[in-house]
Amino acid sequence: MKIYFVLEDTSAASAITNNHAPSVFKIYIGVEFAEFLQDRVFLFVYNTILKMNVAIYFNIVPKGNDKLSLYFENKNSTLKLHKNKDSDNAQWEVKWLGAENGKDKVVLINKGLGMAMEAKELQEASSIVPSDYGNKNTDWLLGDIKDGVFRGILPRKKEELNLNAWQGGELYDGQDVRLYPYTETYNDLWAFQLVEN
């Protein structure tokens, strides 16, 4: 059994007033991505977790293969897919920074390195590298929800690009993940799978 999370702005008033209420984590439990409990349960409000200062970690898994997760090997590496989802370097903290243009703005922090995910350049084929939180390209936007749990992960300053396991074909252990135009397909849609301790 796997648990997936979706960060979603549920405030109807926010669309009218642009005063965004706290987003809510929705937790989905299922055997496969497409099989979810019919009655979705709101488990907790994100702001409450922040106030409790509790670290919750996720594997960020591609639609094309939920046995792989985004991963940094070390502070000099680039972002790849990795099969060892139990590794601290394949687990991510999601810091919610608010909403921007109807999308959730986040920073993704690697548990093992304590460093944020950063787009090295804001151009096609750019590598993703570990960086100190707060550097210029560490803010990301989460795209619209697809198939219940999947979202694009877009650089805040260049929304037409997206994290993409870019080589095509089947996804595999060690595959590079870079910035490419957003196509909303198996290699550039991502789910946040709760790490079970």
pLDDT of residue 57: 95
Spell out the long-range contacts of 10-15 with Cβ–Cβ below 8 A and sequence spacing 24 or more. Answer: 14/99, 15/102
138-158 residue pLDDT tens: 999 999 999 989 999 999 999
pLDDT of residue 60: 98
Rg (CA), the chain: 16
pLDDT of residue 31: 40
For the chain, domains (ranges, CATH) are 54-194 (2.80.10.50)
pLDDT of residue 55: 76
As given in the structure block, the two tokens for residue 63 are 């639609």
CB 70 within 8 A of CB 89: no
Element (DSSP H or E) covering residue 16: helix 12-17
CB 119 within 8 A of CB 155: yes
75-110 residue pLDDT tens: 999 999 999 999 999 999 999 998 998 899 999 999
**Mean pLDDT of residues grouped by 10 in the chain (197 residues)?**
55 36 42 37 40 75 96 98 98 93 93 97 96 89 93 96 87 96 94 89
Torsion sign across C-alpha atoms 195, 4, 167, 77:
negative
pLDDT of residue 42: 32
* Burial of 109 per CB tally in 10 Å (0-12, 13-18, 19+): buried
> pTM of the entire structure?
0.77
pLDDT of residue 4: 61
Torsion sign across C-alpha atoms 181, 119, 127, 185:
negative
* Burial of 186 per CB tally in 10 Å (0-12, 13-18, 19+): middle
Q: What is the DSSP letter of 150?
A: B
Beta-sheet pairing, 140-142 with 153-155: antiparallel
pLDDT of residue 35: 39
- Give the CA angle between residues 23, 132, 6 to the nearest 5°: 25
Measured in degrees and rounded to the nearest 5, phi and psi for residue 121 equal -135, 155
